[in-house]
Amino acid sequence: MKGILLINLGSPRNLDLPSVKTYLKEFLTDELVIDIPKIFRRILVNNFIVPFRARNTLKAYETIWKKSGSPLIINTNYLTKRVQQRTEYPVEFAMRYQEPSIESSMKKLVDKGCSSLTILPLYPHYAMSTTLTTQRKVEEINNKKKLGLELKFVSPFYNQDQYISALTSKIKPFLNYKIDYLLFSYHGIPERHILKTDPTGSHCLKHNNCCTVESEAKRFCYKAQVLETSRLCASSLKLEENKWGVSFQSRIGPGWLKPFSDIELQKLPQKGIKNIAVICPSFLVDNLETLEEMQIRGQETFKNAGGKNFYYIPCLNEDDHWVDFLINLLAEN
């Protein structure tokens, strides 16, 4: 029997400093997230990033934490239940980092009689720090624990019609607010990640228009994929070129994809753009980066720079169009 496993990134177990530190350490010591030699990665994470970042991260979580826990886990759980209602196969969800762990969820599906798994990493776009690390972890557990499961991973779906339709249906109501501009804000990644995942070794970031040129590299290029998602949505919404744009948030250090979302939010009012809507398509359910970083801090940044109206467009979460697409996508896999 087939089982379905939805996997998201992760969240602290509890709203306290030890939980935040544990989560950050597990997340940031992943060699596919901070891709430097192991000894330097551990020194950087344990001696610098976690000690200086943990308290600020805790404060950020305090602004969005629910009585029942982390919004990311709550929203992923809700989505899983919606999918389970629409399929005959057992469905579980897991987090790449922390709980519920991938191993525990895989074992639950085995206990329910599953001999094969369809794994859906909850990321529309390919990146080594999301898609690839998730796949490797699932394969590692399957081999080490000798589960003997047949594994099938759902590919990124950044340009599939029904996914674009779900996004545009989420955006359309906000266009009625007479906004001046729609900003697509994506999670940032280091440029070196894009270079590392380029199978040709000679295409990505080599030319100004590399993302618009068809290449084998596009299957693994995060930047090209997010630009296409944005373009397809803007085309479907019939937006003029000067009425929308793309930016990247959540950077850590230099060398990350530009333009940066916080800088763009400061610049837009200076250009006379006072009323904007923002959507974060790289996130499928609302979480820290959307609710705190964008809806709260992003809005403050925009208004402090002279902006007037800031409309945050929620993630797809349990949206009916999105769930319909997921059911069809999982049926094909």
Residue at 331 is within a domain: no
Average pLDDT for residues 275-291, to the nearest whole number? 98
pTM equals 0.96
Residue 94 has phi, psi (to 5 degrees) of -145, 170
Paired tokens of 191: 């440029």
Average pLDDT for residues 301-327, to the nearest whole number? 97
The verdict on 142 and 201 lying in the same domain is no
Residue at 84 is within a domain: yes
The verdict on 135 and 176 lying in the same domain is no
Residue 253 in this model has a pLDDT that exceeds 90: no
Residue 207 in this model has a pLDDT that exceeds 90: no
The verdict on 91 and 218 lying in the same domain is no
The verdict on 165 and 303 lying in the same domain is yes
Residue at 16 is within a domain: yes
The verdict on 83 and 142 lying in the same domain is yes
Residue at 235 is within a domain: yes
User: Measured between alpha carbons, how far is 38 from 18 in angstroms, rounded to an integer?
Assistant: 23
User: Measured between alpha carbons, how far is 4 from 117 in angstroms, rounded to an integer?
Assistant: 6
Residue 101, pLDDT score: 98
Residue 295, pLDDT score: 98
Alpha helices in 176-319 (DSSP H): 191-196, 222-236, 261-270, 288, 299-304
Q: Note down the domain range covering 167.
A: 161-313
Residue 208, pLDDT score: 84
Residue at 323 is within a domain: no
Number of helices followed by number of strands (H, E) in the chain: 13, 8
Tens digit of each residue's pLDDT (9 = 90 or more) over 101-153:
999 999 999 999 999 999 999 999 999 999 999 999 999 999 999 999 999 99
The verdict on 136 and 216 lying in the same domain is no
Tens digit of each residue's pLDDT (9 = 90 or more) over 54-81:
999 999 999 999 999 999 999 999 999 9
Query: What's the total number of domains in the chain?
Result: 2
Residue with tokens 């891709």: 35
Residue at 83 is within a domain: yes
How many percent of the chain have pLDDT more than 70?
100
CATH of the domain at 210: 3.40.50.1400
User: Measured between alpha carbons, how far is 174 from 80 in angstroms, rounded to an integer?
Assistant: 27
Among the three residues 97, 127, 156, which one is the final residue of a domain in this structure?
Answer: 156
Residue at 327 is within a domain: no
Mean pLDDT over the full length of the chain: 97
Residue at 307 is within a domain: yes
Give me Rg for the CA atoms of the chain.
Answer: 20
The verdict on 78 and 166 lying in the same domain is no
